[in-house]
Structure 1
Amino acid sequence: MTSSADAIVSLYARHAAAYDRQRGRKLMEARWLDRFLALLPARPSVLDIGCGMGEPIARHLIEQGCAVTGIDSSAPLIALCRERFPQQDWRVADMRELALGRCFDGLIAWDSFFHLTPVAQRRMFPLFREHAADGAVLLFTSGPAHGEAIGSFEGEPLYHGSLDPAEYRALLAENGFAVAVHLVEDPDCGGHTVWLARRTA
């Protein structure tokens, strides 16, 4: 399991073109993104953690007036973001080492954070806190229960990890976030388990 988790960075770098080709552009996440946006101020700054090639999520945020900073460990995917959305801020970075030196109105980690091991996920919550302004909104997806699972992408193992929901709630609370909505395996969003939380002042 650990070796599969360690391979995620190189996997998305080597198969960036395939991911870009296969990632659906139909925005099944729209309802969650609209909930997220409804809690943000006008023209918000948003940090997209694990932004991929910027479509369809970052594109939607940009179209709704957000100033997006996107990070991803895959240089080829970030290159596509820079080509498609040159007025936004795109950076090659490992989310586990996130240190941008600024805070954002919103943070999103959709289908990205769950590629980390449970140990690495626990370490992310202080990083979320460090990059969240007072009242900032955090949207992320996880697994439905504690565990690890291996999928497949381009014939290679694709790692997923998750904590228990009670531990996510505890980590959010410890780092100053209050859960607004938590839905397990949303049938209207491809079975995603979604968390929407807000940083308290």
Structure 2
Amino acid sequence: MTAEDPKQLVRRGYDALSIRYDEATQADAKYQDWIGTLMARLEPASRVLDIGCGSGVPMARDLTAAGHHVTGVDISEVQIRRAREFVPQAEFVNADAMSLDFDPESFDAAVSLYALIHLPLDEQRQLLHNIATWLRPAGWFLCTTGHREWTGTDDNWLDGGAPMWWSHTDAATNRVWITQAGFTIESEQFVPEGAGGHTLFWARQI
């Protein structure tokens, strides 16, 4: 099942461990600098797409509190249910990101934190192109990607008894893919995590 449909493994993993994931990652504190930087770059009442929105905390919660309009997307039904409870002012969609179909220039900014890495590599590249299409000219894109090439499964993710699957390419390849999708990369940084880490990119639609 894992090799044939890894995204369903991801869905089941987040369904099972949604609360445990929030507790383990402490995203409320981890994301604060990124959220602050994004909000400083947005015009009032901007439209923001959050792919892999999780429980909506803190990204959707903080952006809507600041007066922005957030559309959050997540493959996990449990994550979306919790997001609707925590952030009722935002719009949330329970869907595979590859099934999304928005009009061109629908959003002023897009965010995808720790979500691209749960897609097969060919889909990651396609989704980057899709996001560029959905953004208005010069719209901001904030994302985390893999830093080193690796694809695999943790059979006991977060010690919670459920498996999880990831697929990473390296930072240099991600840089090329983001540029080829139609973005100019403004900055990047390594974000450590355990023995490894991810790459954080700030980019703008050309």
Amino acid at match of 1:76: V
Amino acid at match of 2:6: A
Which residue does 1:81 correspond to in 2?
83
Change (3 A) 1:180 1:157: same
Change (3 A) 1:28 1:21: closer
Which residue does 1:59 correspond to in 2?
61
The answer to whether structure 1 residue 182 and structure 2 residue 182 are counterparts is: no
The answer to whether structure 1 residue 27 and structure 2 residue 33 are counterparts is: no
Q: Distance in 2 between matches of 1:83 and 1:16?
A: 14
Per the alignment, in what secondary structure is the counterpart of residue 128 of structure 2?
helix
Q: Distance in 1 between matches of 2:149 and 2:14?
A: 24
Which residue does 1:198 correspond to in 2?
204
Deviation at 1:77, TM superposition (A): 1.7
Query: In the alignment, which of 104, 111, 127 is matched to residue 130 of structure 2?
Result: 127
Per the alignment, in what secondary structure is the counterpart of residue 139 of structure 1?
strand
The alignment covers a number of residue pairs equal to 198
Deviation at 1:16, TM superposition (A): 3.4
Q: Distance in 2 between matches of 1:99 and 1:111?
A: 21
Percent identical = 27
Listed one character per residue, the Cα deviations across residues 37-92 of structure 1 (whole Å, up to 9, x for unaligned) are 22222221110101111112221222222211111111222122222222211111
Q: Distance in 1 between matches of 2:176 and 2:102?
A: 25
Indicate the larger mover: 56-65 or 149-158: 149-158
Amino acid at match of 2:115: S
Amino acid at match of 2:165: Y
Indicate the larger mover: 172-181 or 154-163: 154-163
Deviation at 1:193, TM superposition (A): 2.2
Contact preservation (8 Å) 2:117, 2:145: yes
Q: What is the correspondence of 1:15-164 to structure 2 with a 5 Å cutoff? A: 15-19=17-21, 22=24, 24=26, 26-101=28-103, 103-151=106-154, 152-153=157-158, 154-164=160-170
Query: In the alignment, which of 160, 173, 177 is matched to residue 179 of structure 2?
Result: 173
Deviation at 1:19, TM superposition (A): 3.8
Which residue does 2:12 correspond to in 1?
10
Per the alignment, in what secondary structure is the counterpart of residue 28 of structure 2?
coil
Deviation at 1:20, TM superposition (A): 5.0
Q: Distance in 2 between matches of 1:65 and 1:191?
A: 32
Contact preservation (8 Å) 2:60, 2:87: no
For structure 2, the 5+ residue unaligned runs are none
